[in-house]
Chain A
Amino acid sequence: METIDRYIYAVTQKLPQAQRKDIADELRGLIEDMLEERVGIANIKESDVEDVLLELDSPNELAEKYRGTKKYLIGPELFDSYILVLKIVLIVVSAGIGIGFLIQTILDPISILDYFIDMIVSLVTSLPMAFGWTTFSFAIGERSGEVKRKDLIGQEWKPSDLPPIPDEKRQIKRGESIAGIIFYAIFIAFLAFSSDYFGIWVFQDEFTGVVPFLNEQTYGSYLMFIILLFGFGILKECLKLVSGKWTYKLAIVTIIVNAVSMAAIVFIINGPDFWNPEFMNELAEAGVVTVGSEAFDIVNKVWDQLTFWIIILLVIGLVWDAVDGFIKARKK
């Protein structure tokens, strides 16, 4: 009776190793009992076997009943936050790509068809990716969260254990986090899809070109870092959104994320030729400033000092962000 063997195999292979043999033996007994009741011991035909198996549940259903637990990627407890974050991520990615397209089209209306195709391609590749990564992150959260929930079961619950309603100062405003995520996403989209326009826009009667801030030769190799950097920022805002209030844990995570971001920024900006080495010359060529003029000297000075000040500003910003988190977490 090969069909019976195959049915039993299909059921038991979805079950834990330790239970397989026992359940297989019991199922075989059941199927033989059912067959015997229907057609007797002799003359069992293949079609009889199939009838009996059809009367039982499908192997998948039966195995699920034996397991007793529903298997899922993201459980009901995380589902609401998951949907919220997923919505934001998808909207932001679409908006970022759309804005990229708009900027490109405004600057260069003739190539609108190319840009449009680019946009569609970006949407088709980016949206599933965003969906996948969001789901993946939450699935990880679900897996690691399971341990905690198990620990909680069985403990007596007292109304006095209820967490206090957080002070308004500790609460993280949803709008702020969402705005942060949108800002990061737009920046990523802008840098990734139209880095050529990140610079001084030169208008002489009409738009004539851009003097880019960044070195176009080396930019490609930095792009991954930059996207990762803003990706970290988005992750941080998502955590804030899910948490809803400042806690020490959140503050510590913020510090770690900010430290990593800071290291990456210092690395990028200090790297060879991150900035456009021809910036001043191109600026002069574009006719914005004249070589030798006072304005040229000032711009030149600013340009030279730029790296230093950007680092200072970023470090202050990131340190403040982390310290702020701690101060708010401490408030009772």
Chain B
Amino acid sequence: MEKTLIQLEHIHKSYGKQTIIEDLSLEVRDGEFLTLLGPSGCGKTTLLRMINGFETPDKGEVLLDGVNQVAIQPNKREVNTVFQSYALFPHLTVRENIEFSLKMKKVDKNEIKERVDEVLELTNLEALASRKPGKLSGGQQQRVAIARSLVNKPKVLLLDEPLGALDLKLRKQMQIELKKMQRRLGITYVYVTHDQEEALTISDRIVVLNKGNIEQIGEPFEIYHSPKTEFVASFLGESNFFEGKYENGVFHYGDAKIPVEANGTKDANLLSVRPEYININLGKTEENALEAMVTEVTYLGQTNRIELKLKDGKKVYALSEIEELEKGKKVFLTFHSKECTLLKKQEQ
């Protein structure tokens, strides 16, 4: 059942002298929710536009169900797109917007009605069917955009930052709705976002992109807990980085010896520790503990975000609920040895 639906093979793309994507290959499995995650300018939207046909790779192939798509016009491809701005047709009602693709393909009238009704119900838009897009809220427009694509029964639904324009609360709600709908329909989703939290919440697999290269592909848990590169560790969530050397279960950072239960590459020169895996101790409980001074305490509700300074001046962030922590207090840090990740430093 883990069939490959989309294959991107050795894709190259540049605009003028600027190379956007260099030799990128990627497979999308049938029925999965795949997210392309990366900062703006990383090439994620360009990749999406190669799948829907609005961009052509300079070199390389785009295969859908084994068929090369590069020479196929966007209107003939069996994929549909939910655009960032929704791009609803302002002169048509919700129902007419949804009917559009079926009418263009000259589908039988009765079938159009049936399929449109079905999608309207699925997206909870029945009551709004006769309204024009201008009279809808952002979330409702979003649902119309999705309904308009789904009515086509595409092999793949491409979503280009579809929640970008919504406020936080609605965005969270829509994330869950999107995920639920995808599970129910079993359609493959390729989702583009720069929001790492969103990617972790909704994806089956995440592709982390940076400067047109794939940094890591994996399930959300794996990406968060075992980042393979410095970029992934810093882009998804927050992390503290220590430069040093790894030898036999110990990471040497300056004079300090930090015990690490190997997670990552053996010839590492960088240690990544997420703030939640740093313990703050008021007394020196362990020989290897790092001495630090609290420089800032920020209240986050459930916990506090503590900014600390090591003796060599390095800043470290940790999370702690200890109440006695205040500016200027001397503390000792220990790390969860299993949750530390060994990395190779990347050229910036």
Tell me whether A and B are bound partners. Answer: no
